[in-house]
Amino acid sequence: MVMTARALNRSTLARQLLLERAPIGVGDAVRQVVALQAQQPGSPYVALWNRVAGFDPAELDKAVADFEVVRSTLMRLTLHLVHAGDYRAFREGMEPTLRGSRLHDPRFKAAGFTAEDADGLLPGLLTYAREARTGAQLRAHLAAARGGPVEAVVWRMIRQYAPLWHAPTGPPWSFGTAQSFVTAEAPLPGLGDQEASAAGLAVLLRRYLEGFGPASLADMAQFTTAPRGKVREAVRLLEDGLEQWEGPGGTVLHDVPGAPRPDEDVPAPPRLMAMWDSVLLAYADRGRVIPPEYRGQVIRVNGDTLPTVLVDGYVAGVWRPVGEGVEVSAFRPLSARVWAELAAEAAALDGFLAARDRRVYGRYDHWWVKGLPAAETRVLPGA
């Protein structure tokens, strides 16, 4: 079974609810798309606006407040919003990667802490965080238990490793600059349990294929940052329940049976995607969505991944909110029909943002000030 590059693009768009907005609840939408990048608090809202028909941001507020969907450090060592029902397996699957990168970071050791020190402190910390605590409170608790100061880098590493959920701190996007944390609901992930980690990684990779497949071993390793060997072992656990496809260049692709794989000629409407949207970062071969010649303009040198414009399913430019509406910088000439469709999207997006924070990505304007090689830039009027 062979899949073309364009067919892979359409599979991703279908599973990520980007071929058409779906009449689906927030919790089901998050489960469908597997994980939403959430280091920028407004991005999950913009991501769901692109995917859910009639999306009401108050529904995501409620899902976050009720811990139906939860924000925590997971894949690629970054903050994600995932369904609470997925959290345990995802966290167990990420355990070795999180432990190795956080508790064995040279800065952690340089501050006089070992992984064993963290193991000794975690039970008390998690008990203390059964109700929401600020970062300052948790750091002070660690210092008291340690009997000495806890440097900022140590607290950062421990909080990113510990099974903690971010507790909402208020509008406009549930999570603000102040941070609050609560222990993940019992049963807690099996910290340090290799068997649980292997089983969790298998669950995580199957869910990844449901939301992003078909995909290669390299894609799965990129999505998770798990070592390629552990990814290969997890796929072996799943092999009887997976299909194999041949991708471009003979790449071996894995997928779940019966998953959406639309025809490569299915139309894909324009979209104004969130900053750090997962479809831009979920693959080793990012050409599935980002043409190689545009990658450096979209994914900046420090990892900032700009809010992008999708045209026919592929990145064709970037956008940002401005005072008059939405500014779109196209990397190539676009047709009058596409500009008209983007204008309709921009007016709807501006209306959506206006109720919360019209300048949701304003702090990243410096990338535009430094210059982006656009074929054409237009300010599309707001609502």
What was the pLDDT predicted at 190? 82
Q: For the chain, what is the domain count?
A: 2
Label residue 1 by pLDDT band (50, 70, 90): confident
What was the pLDDT predicted at 371? 87
Among 255, 289, 323, give the residue marking a domain's end: 289
Q: Which domain, by its residues, includes 342?
A: 292-381
Label residue 176 by pLDDT band (50, 70, 90): confident
Are 373 and 242 part of one and the same domain?
no
Are 253 and 321 part of one and the same domain?
no
DSSP string for 237-276: HHGGG-EEEE-GGG-EEEE-TT-----TTS----EEPPTT
- Hey, what are 274's tokens? 């969130």
DSSP string for 261-316: ---TTS----EEPPTT-GGGTS-SSGGGTS-GGGHHHHB-TTS-B--EEEETTEEE
- Calculate mean pLDDT across residues 132-139: 97
Distance of CA 88 to the CA centre of its chain: 17
Phi and psi at residue 105, to the nearest 5°: -65, 135
Are 250 and 269 part of one and the same domain?
yes
What was the pLDDT predicted at 186? 75
Among 289, 309, 327, give the residue marking a domain's end: 289
d(CA 185, CA 168): 15
d(CA 73, CA 87): 11
What was the pLDDT predicted at 289? 98
- pLDDT tens-place string over residues 301-359: 999 999 999 999 999 999 999 988 999 999 999 999 999 999 999 999 999 999 999 99
Are 307 and 350 part of one and the same domain?
yes
Label residue 122 by pLDDT band (50, 70, 90): very high
d(CA 53, CA 253): 31
Are 25 and 112 part of one and the same domain?
yes
Q: Which ranges of the chain does DSSP label H, i.e. alpha helix?
A: 5-15, 26-33, 43-51, 57-65, 84-98, 106-110, 115-128, 135-146, 152-161, 194-212, 217-224, 228-238, 295-298, 336-354, 366-369
Q: Give the lowest-confidence range in 51-60, 136-145, 307-316, 364-373.
A: 364-373
What was the pLDDT predicted at 328? 98
CA angle (32, 253, 6) in 5-degree steps: 75
Q: Which residues contact 278 (CB under 8 A, 6 or more apart)?
A: 16, 33, 34, 35, 36, 37, 47, 212
pLDDT at residue 88 tops 80: yes
- pLDDT tens-place string over residues 229-270: 999 999 999 988 999 999 999 999 999 999 999 999 999 999
Are 70 and 84 part of one and the same domain?
yes
What was the pLDDT predicted at 21? 98
Q: 8: burial class by Cβ within 10 Å (0-12, 13-18, 19+)?
A: buried
Label residue 370 by pLDDT band (50, 70, 90): confident
Are 239 and 371 part of one and the same domain?
no
Distances from the Cα of 300 to the Cαs of 25, 95, 276, 306, 323, in angstroms? 33, 28, 11, 8, 24
d(CA 325, CA 219): 36
Please check whether residue 259 is in contact with residue 210, taking contact to mean a CB–CB distance below 8 angstroms.
yes
Are 181 and 138 part of one and the same domain?
yes
Are 15 and 124 part of one and the same domain?
yes
Phi and psi at residue 163, to the nearest 5°: -75, 75
pLDDT at residue 48 tops 80: yes
Among 289, 318, 344, give the residue marking a domain's end: 289
Are 297 and 262 part of one and the same domain?
no
pLDDT at residue 296 tops 80: yes
Are 267 and 335 part of one and the same domain?
no
Phi and psi at residue 360, to the nearest 5°: -50, -35
d(CA 179, CA 175): 7
Are 42 and 178 part of one and the same domain?
yes
What was the pLDDT predicted at 82? 98
User: Strand, helix or coil at 150?
Assistant: coil
